[in-house]
Chain A
Amino acid sequence: MRKGRQSWRRAIRRDWQLYSLAILPMLFFLTFRYLPMIGNVIAFRRFRPGGSIFGEYWVGLRYVKMFLTDSTFWNVFTNTLVLGGLTLIVCFPLPIVLALLLNEVRTRYLKRFVQSVSYLPHFLSIVIVAGMIMQMLSVDGVVNQIVDALGGEPSAFLQKPEWFRTIYVSSEAWQTVGWGTILYLAALTTIDQDLYEAARIDGANRWRQTWHVTLPGIRPTMVTLLILNIGTFMAVGFEKILLIYNPLTYETADVISTYVYRVGIVSGNLSYAAAIGLFESIIGLVLVLSANFISRRTVGTSLW
């Protein structure tokens, strides 16, 4: 104890200038990251606008009970799981496939061209992406032109709940697949070429080489990105959904985060919304911790 304090004193005397550089960033983390975490107590307290940011008095689990019996909550909860799950199933493997395909391209400028083009959507504001989605799916848009040409009946896709998931997941794939290949392409270049040589001598054809050499070679990258994806699972594209959903599609489009936004910011029930938001954050944390734990136990890769 005593010794610990002394070495701290020595550390501060030696490195006080370094510690002083950390003051502003620490203030940032405390104010804008940790204070809001504590601010979640308003989920269990009565909150008055203009009053303390930590609320007025305790109300116990009132707001938690409220959302557990709220049928809209269970609807948005289901939608979150479905949209998160679909996004994971579609948008996690696609970059791997694209990276493997790009890896087989022997012409360097062609490879670079495809890469440059496929990274482009990543740099667009989500508002622009939403605008493009709306223009393409409008009654006079490209999709309806195709539907029309095939003899179908044009329809306003963005107002049909049954189309929302398809629209959401495919636009998500459009925006993320190219950028997602970067880490895999980097991992692919680190695979030892002798392994392919050995596999070939053992009589493995290209397909088997890919299966037994390439895929195991990028497995750590795959696992790490999978864990990270699972961590953001609950926070499914809040901003994009907010931009492209509307009351007609709430049935399938409304997710926990958009519901929190409407209940809290639009209707002003801040405590109730905070309770739902806290529930979402905790599930997110539990998901990433368990994914990390499982992967450390089974494949030996983990985030920390």
Chain B
Amino acid sequence: MKVIIFGGTPGSGKTSIIKFIIQELKNLKIHYVKFDVLNTDDDLLIKQKFGISTENKISGEACPDHYAALEIPKIIKEHKDKDLIIIETAGLCLRCSPYVNEGLAVNVLNILAGKPSGYGPLLTDADVIVVSKGDLISQAEREIFRSKILEVNKNALIIDGNGLTGEGAIDVAEKIKESQEVKNILTLKHSMPTGICGYCYGNKILDSEETLNRYNQGKELKSRIPNLNCGKCGFKSCNEFIRAVLDKKVEENKCPYIKNKE
């Protein structure tokens, strides 16, 4: 089984290009997962169009990329019978992008959205970079853009893509066919930025004292729960549960595994 992770800023054309790629790979057993923050119906549209299995994962209060990294092992476990798992990230963070070491990391890069040097891991750790919306500018500028990508990521295969015509989909599909099957425990290509402070535990008041308090409370609570993200408390992740407890929206005994204070 192969795991293909698509990253790219919102509006770069990830979903459109993925549709053309699925079309090219329709003889494989594919599972498609869309991560987003608020809502999405891309999974339903793709299910309708291609009849493959799909699902969406809404991160809500959590960072969508951290959430994806938490969920990917579960998805793989549940879909061992598939040839290919296509994961489309929310694409909100250029720094977190949850690319893994096996399979393929594909960045759909909107040529109109700024300099390649400003992107970080989303671009620099990708194996394949699909440059989209290139039809809106001159070829000379496309060539210059390409050389700027090479300055920050020498190893990626750069493909001109178009979400309207499907240009580039054949080349990505070809690369997917060549990519390695998942064999070992997956590793993130880069460590994600830390996000551990009082704000992560739901503090809203911009005050260092308050933030520190909230951080200490959160850390204490975290040490007493199993961090399994089992969902039995009604929240998607333990962190969301901690925030709700600290916001006094729920009692801490909602967690069936919680240990008492020492």
Co-assembled chains A and B:
no
B residues engaging A (CB < 8 A)? none
A residues engaging B (CB < 8 A)? none
